[in-house]
Amino acid sequence: MNDLPFWKSKTLAEMTVAEWESLCDGCGLCCLNKIEEWDSGDIYFTSVSCKLLDGESCRCSSYENRWDFVPDCVQLTKENVPDIAWLPPTCGYRLVNEGRDLYWWHPLVSGDPATVHAAGISARGRAINENEIDLDDLEDYVVDWPLTVGEEKDDEDA
């Protein structure tokens, strides 16, 4: 009998729908608006969230119907995760795809969905809703913290 948790014993393609959905840690970082430079293809995170992101829970406020409100919302799939370079380095989908383990604060490890916030990984308290700004000024909100969250913890563990 295999005693390993599913994310250590299965590939993304082998996961059930429930297992797949549980890989989301609820950080909300993928729901931050991004800017892509046309000439280089470089992608920059902003501190501006999708209008559907609940700033407290860091979950989509209309997950099942999100495309009705945000037609260009990117759905993570078992097929496209390897190709989405902007997934944060702490993303459970990215980690499992790369053969790495989930962090201690991930709800599947900790058993508590609040640990992602307590560990300072999520967008909680850091993002502004896109309805509150002029989207023409989006470049004024470029940040690097979505790509560096958790580094302090990694440095402490080293």
- Output the furthest CA–CA distance in the chain (Å, rounded): 56
- Which pLDDT tens digit goes with each residue over 104-133? 999 999 999 999 999 999 999 999 999 999
Q: In this predicted structure, what is the pLDDT of residue 152?
A: 58
Per-domain residue ranges of the chain: 6-147
Taking Cα atoms as reference points, which of 143, 125, 141, 22 lies closest to residue 88?
Answer: 143
Q: In the block, which residue shows the tokens 């790509």? A: 147
**How many residues are listed for the chain in this entry?**
158
Q: What are phi and psi of 126, to 5 degrees?
A: -115, -15
Query: How many C-beta atoms lie closer than 10 Å to residue 64's C-beta?
Result: 7
More reliable by pLDDT, 32 or 68: 32
Residue 59 carries which DSSP code? Answer: S
